[in-house]
A and B are shown apart, each in its own frame.
Chain A
Amino acid sequence: MKHLSLVAAGAALAMFSMAGTVEAQQTLAQVKQRGLIQCGVSQSLPGFANPDAQGNWAGFDVDMCKAIAAAVFGDVKRVKYVPTTARERFTVLQAGDADLLARNTTWTMSRDTQLGFDFVGINFYDGQGFMVRKDLNVKSAKQLAGAAVCTQTGTTTELNVADFFRTNKMAYKVVAFEKNDEVLAAYDSGRCDVFTTDRSGLAADRTKLKDPNAHIILPDVISKEPLGPLVRHGDNNWGDVIRWAFFAMVNAEELGITQANVDQMANSPNPEIKRLLGKEGDFGKMLGLDNNWAHNIIKMVGNYGESYERNVGPKTPIGLERGVNALWTAGGLQYAPPVR
């Protein structure tokens, strides 16, 4: 897929050099006119963004795309998924081939400033970890001196692993592939001793290995990886739509609104629920959407907790506990500003 990234870079080049480029505040209008949201997702990461045999996309990140489609169009099918590698994702967004990225992207300062993006929230608090074969008998990342490490190029992972081994004065060899599947195949074939990425990614990718039980994820967490959707810098309107689509899902969980009970909850006397579901106030209009925007999201996609449990929760093959991603009321970090 290196050609795709080259094409994307070429497109970026062509795009930036055109006279009448997209003016900043137009993404929402363009999306409405197009009738589709172009959502940049991972190529294949079970639990987060993965197409099934029929080509239907599913996953935690895909739910983010669907939530926005529900808010804008009231129809979760109006999404064009743009699968991107870690390397080409930013160029794809910069060039306007995607309206947003919802693909396990770490919020960092340079991406927020120098790359010309805005991160709109953190929908998954993660950290980088290591996976090794059980028969190596490694119990801690500190025992990995001299190891060959497989990772994906153009990621924070690639930088963190360099920092980790430097800090601990350990030698290592990094083998960096462009596509996640290539990294995994190289690790599975024994090219590397260690596979490193965000711990959620490790859990997801372990299910794809030949013998998942022959591998363990080491307990060490070597970095902060706040993952969240991002948009081009400068289109604050569009950024607000994404941000509040996400907040609506978190608020819905906090208020006990679920996919199943949202229709009854619409008649609730609770003013917070009434505002969120569009029975009171004009909050949808403030975003440039219908007032039932949040109602649609919850009805069609579910609240934050439902999306989590369905895609990556303990009952799925990925098997990730809520941990720090629990609501603040349950001792976690997920906290959304109020709708008012």
Chain B
Amino acid sequence: MAVEVRGGAAPPSVAVWNDPRARAIIFQALALAAVVAFGLYIFNNTYTNLEKRGIASGFAFLGSTAGFGIIMHLIPYAEDSSYGVAMLVGLLNTLAVAAVGIVLATVLGFVVGIARLSRNWLISRIAYVYIESMRNVPLLLQIFFWYQLLGKSVPGPKQSIVFLDIFFLNNRGFYTPAPVFEEGFWEIVVGFVVACIGSFYLSRWSRRRQEATGQQFPVFLTSLGLIVVLPLLVALVAGMPFHWDYPSLQGFNFTGGMVLIPEFVSLTFALVVYTAAYIGEIVRSGIVAVSHGQTEAAYSLGLRPGPTLRLVVIPQAMRIIIPPLTSQFLNLTKNSSLATAIAYPDLVAVFAGTILNQTGQAVECMAITMAIYLTTSLLTSMFMNWFNASVALKER
């Protein structure tokens, strides 16, 4: 009887502070309010103190003229550009190092990780020595080392090392010809895009065919051919709508062409060899973690060692590799801020360095810099989480 009564009627009314759900909401609201109040308090105090000392505050300075030169800029920049543009230049330089570094470190890391597992004694020892020496020397020292080595081992501009009369290497950088686009260049771009889309559909078609009939199709080689040949054909038909701008020695230095400055090269190199050592260990642990039974099962089905690694072991290892790989990507991006040590104009050097100093607005500059790094890292994490989900074990 009693059970029936409790089940049928509305629950007895209790005081709000005795209701666990209401209490939970109240406490969370209070905690949030305390955090917000603390934030406002800090903000207000900072603002008041800055004002009291006559130090300029606010973000208006981003529009003022920068007035200083930056050695490497991926977007048009001149001394009369604004601090805001200079900040973008620094940000793009950071992203350039991070992007190139992440790609190269991943490739090198996978090679090293697999080499470490090789049955060949020499190869696995070399990989072992590489990993242990790279990850046990502070990165800043490595950056200095490569920068000094590069600076001391290559000659000055007048004694440049020349390859094929169009590539020049000297202590001011590596000079290559630069393509100059003419009218009609967009046709090549269209050709490239069409080839990419074609490859995508090709791979989808081939996967469906394989699922239906079991027949395989050489997707990789076909796509590669498509992406290379189609733009090339378009270029020939359109009559090569671009020409090359060759570097030449004028006065002190080379002008024209493109240049990779030694600061960029040594920073990227140091970041790549350092991070690849960690990635190598991550890859190795991922592969080792896949049960040996999987390999044996694959062999017993008649798969050869190559396809076994590619189709059975690596896909399962990826699920273990990706989360720690993400944090290595984030580390590489954040470590690129050590650029300041060798005059590479990254975000920290340009914005939290020069601009902070010329404007004196330390609080704003540091806040913006931190916000940018946070955003970059969160975006990288988001992408990697999506990628991780896409390779995760699909339980059917």
* Residues on A facing B (Cβ under 8 Å): 2, 5-6, 9-10, 12-13, 15-19, 21, 24, 86-87, 90-91, 94, 110-111, 113-116, 136, 144-148, 153-155, 158-159, 161-163, 165-166, 171-178, 182, 186, 189-191, 193, 232-234
* B151 x A189 contact (CB < 8 A): yes
* A94 x B362 contact (CB < 8 A): yes
* Residues on B facing A (Cβ under 8 Å): 42-43, 45-46, 49-50, 52-56, 67-71, 79-80, 148, 151-152, 156, 171-172, 250-253, 255, 262-263, 337-338, 340-343, 345, 348-349, 352-354, 356-360, 362-363, 365-366
Q: Chain A CB within 10 Å — which of B171, B250, B262, B358 has the most?
A: B358
A143 CA to B142 CA, complexed, in Å: 37
| Chain A residues with CB under 8 A of B345 | 176
* B68 x A162 contact (CB < 8 A): yes
* B54 x A87 contact (CB < 8 A): no
* B49 x A10 contact (CB < 8 A): no
* A87 x B353 contact (CB < 8 A): yes
| Chain A residues with CB under 8 A of B340 | 2, 178
- The residue of chain A having its C-beta at the shortest distance from the C-beta of B263 within the complex is A175
List 23 A-B pairs, Cβ < 8 Å.
Answer: A2-B341, A9-B352, A9-B362, A9-B366, A15-B49, A24-B52, A87-B353, A87-B354, A115-B55, A146-B255, A147-B253, A148-B172, A153-B353, A154-B356, A158-B354, A171-B255, A173-B172, A174-B69, A178-B340, A178-B341, A182-B342, A190-B151, A193-B253
- Other-chain contact of B354, A16, A115, A154 (Cβ < 8 Å): A154
Q: Given A147-B253, A234-B54, A154 and B363 touching (CB < 8 A)?
A: no
**Majority SS at the chain A contact face:** mixed
- Other-chain contact of A154, B69, B152, B171, B353 (Cβ < 8 Å): B353
Q: Given A13-B363, A158-B354, A148 and B252 touching (CB < 8 A)?
A: yes
A5 CA to B263 CA, complexed, in Å: 21
* A94 x B354 contact (CB < 8 A): no
Q: Given A146-B251, A166-B79, A174 and B68 touching (CB < 8 A)?
A: yes
| Chain A residues with CB under 8 A of B151 | 186, 189-191
| Chain A residues with CB under 8 A of B337 | 2
* B354 x A17 contact (CB < 8 A): no
* B252 x A193 contact (CB < 8 A): yes
Q: Given A186-B151, A190-B151, A174 and B46 touching (CB < 8 A)?
A: no
**Majority SS at the chain B contact face:** helix
A6 CA to B367 CA, complexed, in Å: 12
- The residue of chain A having its C-beta at the shortest distance from the C-beta of B341 within the complex is A2
| Min distance, Cβ B52 to any Cβ of chain A, angstroms | 7
* B54 x A158 contact (CB < 8 A): no
A162 CA to B78 CA, complexed, in Å: 10
* B362 x A162 contact (CB < 8 A): no
- The residue of chain B having its C-beta at the shortest distance from the C-beta of A93 within the complex is B360
List of 8 A-B pairs having minimum Cβ-Cβ separation, nearest first: A154-B357, A115-B360, A116-B55, A174-B69, A114-B56, A146-B251, A17-B46, A2-B340
| Chain B residues with CB under 8 A of A15 | 49
- The residue of chain A having its C-beta at the shortest distance from the C-beta of B338 within the complex is A2
| Chain A residues with CB under 8 A of B255 | 146, 171
* A172 x B69 contact (CB < 8 A): yes
Q: A2-B341, A158-B69, A175-B263 are in contact. List 8 more A-B contacts (CB 8 A).
A: A94-B360, A110-B359, A110-B360, A116-B50, A145-B251, A173-B69, A173-B253, A193-B253
* A13 x B341 contact (CB < 8 A): no
| Chain A residues with CB under 8 A of B171 | 189-191
* A90 x B360 contact (CB < 8 A): yes
* A18 x B341 contact (CB < 8 A): no
* B68 x A159 contact (CB < 8 A): yes
- The residue of chain A having its C-beta at the shortest distance from the C-beta of B55 within the complex is A116
| Min distance, Cβ B183 to any Cβ of chain A, angstroms | 28
* B55 x A176 contact (CB < 8 A): no
* A114 x B343 contact (CB < 8 A): no
Q: Given A13-B362, A16-B363, A146-B251, A162 and B79 touching (CB < 8 A)?
A: yes
A172 CA to B348 CA, complexed, in Å: 23
Q: Given A94-B362, A159-B68, A153 and B357 touching (CB < 8 A)?
A: yes
* B71 x A175 contact (CB < 8 A): yes
A330 CA to B115 CA, complexed, in Å: 77
- The residue of chain A having its C-beta at the shortest distance from the C-beta of B170 within the complex is A190
A110 CA to B365 CA, complexed, in Å: 17
| Chain B residues with CB under 8 A of A158 | 68-69, 354
